[in-house]
Amino acid sequence: MKELIGKSISKLQELLASKQVKAKEVCDAHLNHIDRLDKEIFAFNTVTHGLARKQAELVDQQIAAGDKLGKLAGIPIALKDNICLQGYPTTCSSKILANFMPPYDATVTKRLFEQGAVCVGKTNMDEFAMGSSTENSAFKPTLNPWSLMGNGNKKLVPGGSSGGSTASVAAGFSTVALGSDTGGSIRQPASFCGVVGMKPTYGLVSRFGLVAFASSLDQIGPLGRTTEDVAITLSAIAGHDSHDSTSLPEPKVDFLSDLKKPIKGLRLGIISELLGEGIEAEIQEAIKKAIETYRSLGAKCDQVSMPNLKHALPVYYIIATAEASANLARYDGVRYGLRDKESKDVLSMYYKTRQAGFGAEVKRRIMLGTFALSTGYYDAYYKKAQQVRQLIKNEFDQAFQKFDLLICPTSPSVAFEFGAKTSDPLSMYLSDIATIPANLAGIPAVSLPCSFDKQGLPIGLQLMGPALSDAKLLQAAFAFESTTNFDNQPPPALLTKV
């Protein structure tokens, strides 16, 4: 039933509640869509046909019995392949975890299922979430669904590292998806694929069951075609978790309650350092038009200077690689995952297992991080980076004394072609120049579609707010979305391939 593809959560639940369709029909429509089109896009590492149909049948039984339904009852969702799903592969798109089956569900997975979500699969990603294009997957790169448009069929990246989750939403394989964001891995692909992606406040969503990359930066967050879908999903997964020592002791919040309130009087700071050199001209113009839209909605918009943001990229690549070096030490061929069976001693087994199991980008970051933590260099690199990180956080705190939210582009460019930046790691790292600061400061940020370039490719707008301003961020995003309707312009994968 192709008319079920691309529908919002609220529209699907209206159909289910009125018994116009069954959850199993919704599930089968999405699974069939995946089976037809994912051979071109490769959004999924694993499609969970049996699990999805079992969950959909349970929702149908609840509807027939007149039971109270969860926030996501019957809604197709996808999980990034670094989020644990009991009994199914959680590979992080790495050879070293190719056969790993977690013995438990992540907290977010449990919470989705408690709300009736239907899991259609585990999505492709940059290996161990290290990348900005999903070209670093050990299995196969994911194609941006906007590649399937009438522009010569260029092979465009979906962004990364949550490229599979984002492509799943953009192509209509799932209504919503979960990704992880360490330096922009939800927001940057959301910008490239024309969907809404949110990095919540650090600690608002449990990381228990998320395979760690950089523990002080990682955060799970939702992706959806609309802000409302993201708000509903965040309401389902947010909240304190005793299994996660970094989980905030905050009460559960309904992020829908204030979503549709007007934003007149909102104080919006325009980050001047992220709206100039290095940002494509078309993106600068799109953000300026978005600012005018906010002014028309009653927001007060003024420039704010944050000079320390120029240090965010090097600070991130010291801290993130150092934490990755420590976190990835556990993949040694002894406890789980890949193991070289030809080695005759422990040291050679370690060496050969990691040599065969890790890809080039993961090895690069492990070596960078190990160097930054090594004797004689710790103070000069890691300690100094942490000090500058505090300066960046202080700068955000000062900005939020004057402004409610900050605005800038999500990415300095639109989606680029496969191979365009793989030979130049620094050029690839610069793709996250506007998203990294929010992770360093631990603040929430959201990306939403705000325009299209001359090729017809999506451009993303980023909003950032102080810690625990997640509801206000979503409110501001919804106000813009309601005025512009960029969410109603789906990629060709939805228009011509269903």
Separation CA 86–CA 110 (nearest Å):
10
CA distances 303 to 47, 269, 271, 341, 394, Å, are 46, 6, 6, 60, 18
Which residue, 91, 86, 148, is CA-closest to 124? 91
Closest CA to 185 of 138, 128, 146: 128
Residues 6+ apart with CB under 8 A from 437: 306, 309, 312, 392, 396, 464
SS (H, E, C) 36-72: HHHHHHCCEEEECHHHHHHHHHHHHHHHHHCCCCCCC
Q: Which of 71, 80, 110, 497 is catalytic?
A: 80
Active site residue 363: no
216 counts as catalytic? no
Residue 434 structure tokens: 């506007």
Cβ within 8 Å of residue 196, ≥6 positions away: 190, 223, 224, 225, 226, 227, 229, 230, 446, 447, 448, 449, 477, 481, 487
CA–CA gap between residue 33 and residue 199 (Å, rounded): 28
Exactly one of 161, 165, 168, 180 is catalytic; which is it? 161
Kindly tell me the burial class for residue 187, based on how many C-beta atoms sit within 10 Å of its own C-beta (0-12, 13-18, 19 or more).
Answer: buried
* CA–CA separation, 68 and 290 (whole Å): 40
Q: How many residues does the chain have?
A: 498
Active-site entry in 168, 185, 191, 235: 185
Q: Supply the DSSP symbol for 277.
A: T
**165 by DSSP, 3-state: which?**
helix
SS3 (DSSP) at 405: strand
Strands annotated E in 233-373: 267-271, 300-304
What amino acid occupies position 148?
L
d(CA 194, CA 225): 8
Does the annotation mark 402 as catalytic?
A: no
What is the rounded CA–CA span in Å between residue 414 and residue 329?
35
Name which of 75, 61, 57, 62 is nearest 11 in CA terms. 75
Cα–Cα distance list, 378 to 218, 272, 317, 369, 375 (Å): 22, 33, 14, 10, 6
Where in the sequence numbering do the catalytic residues fall? 80, 161, 185
